[in-house]
Structure 1
Amino acid sequence: MNRRDLSEVKLFQDALSTKTPPSPGSPKLRVIPDDGSVTFANMQRGVMAFAEGCYAAIRNPNSHEDGLPELPEHEALEQLATLSLLARWIEGAMVTTP
């Protein structure tokens, strides 16, 4: 996916959305196969919400705020594990195109 038109949260929202089908220039990610089930819808919604939370609570404050205290090692490792889980879901997702 080469999406330079959106960044961060909006990119995850668009890529994981089930409300709009894939279109030229706007492929979709499917974390599990879309079989029309509640499980599929829940996984998509959950990963999208998780991604939003990771950016809002982990990535953005640590990247954009000066003066925040350095995280204790155990908190930094927890945040790293959280981002690693998100990366695993995204890396394993299927790209759907029109």
Structure 2
Amino acid sequence: MAAFLRPRGPALAADTLHPWVWEPAAPLWAAEAYQDAVLAAARTVNRRLQQKLGRHDVGETDLCMQTFDMKEPVDGKPRLRFTGDRSTPSWRARQDGAKYTSAGAFLAIRNLAAHEDKVNWSQQEALEYLATFSLVARWIEECTVETTS
């Protein structure tokens, strides 16, 4: 009875996650290989980031830290930029947030999935990790590449 009286929360459908995340994860998810599904999604997001920037010279965490950094781009190190007024605190907060969120996703989620033999993630935890990479993928796709030229 108590379950029916509580407000019902929203549901997150995995197949509505960013395609860079769900497409590589789906077959592994169906096999209940959640750790492998998250790892496949993280690897795909990393590859897409590398492709967008034309960079394959650093690991994903460093690449995220450099890519979303507010410093001006330098030769061989383009930046990703959100649209909007760069002089506002909101724009700067979003740019910094993307830098730390994306780097943190690779550090805290991808590295664990890649380097631990077996993690005991529930289906819900793994779905939340996929959602994190979906957010990162959306930001990568949304941003424009800024170069020195």
Which bin holds the TM-score, normalised by the shorter protein?
0.7 to 0.9
Which structure is richer in relative contact order (CA contacts within 8 A, separation 6 or more)?
A: 1
Gaps of 5+ in 1: none
Percent identity at matched positions?
38
Tell me which residue corresponds to 1:16: 68
Runs of 4+ residues deviating >4 angstroms? none
Cα distance in 1 for residues equivalent to 2:115 and 2:107: 11
The aligned amino acid for 1:81 is A
**Are 2:86 and 2:92, in contact at CA under 8 Å, matched by a contact in 1?**
no
Tell me which residue corresponds to 1:80: 130
Please, what TM-score do these two structures have when normalized by structure 2? 0.60
Please, what TM-score do these two structures have when normalized by structure 1? 0.88
Q: Matched residue pairs, number? A: 96
Greater gyration radius: 2
**Are 1:31 and 1:90, in contact at CA under 8 Å, matched by a contact in 2?**
no
Cα distance in 1 for residues equivalent to 2:145 and 2:85: 12
Higher helix share: 2
Cα distance in 2 for residues equivalent to 1:39 and 1:7: 28
Gaps of 5+ in 2: 1-52
Q: What root-mean-square deviation, in Å, do the aligned CA atoms of Structure 1 and Structure 2 show?
A: 1.3
Aligned match for 1:43, one of 71, 78, 94: 94
- How do 1:46-57 and structure 2 match up within 5 A? 46-57=97-108
